[in-house]
Amino acid sequence: MRNGSAGYLLMSIVVCVLLLFRNNVFVTKISSYGYPLD
């Protein structure tokens, strides 16, 4: 149970950080370079 909770929590945090990172950094890079990095 501890393993499942910790894994789920960690994945949620990682996903949130990645989404924030993509929204801020990648949009800026796309704007400056002019092509999507996907």
Tens of pLDDT, residue by residue over 1-38, are 566 788 889 999 999 888 877 777 766 666 666 655 54
Instruction: Annotate 16-30 with DSSP letters as a single string.
Output: HHHHHHIIIIIHHHH
For the chain, the structural domain boundaries read 1-38
pLDDT for 11: 92
pTM of the predicted protein model: 0.46
Structure tokens at 38: 């996907």
31 — phi, psi (to 5°)? -65, -40
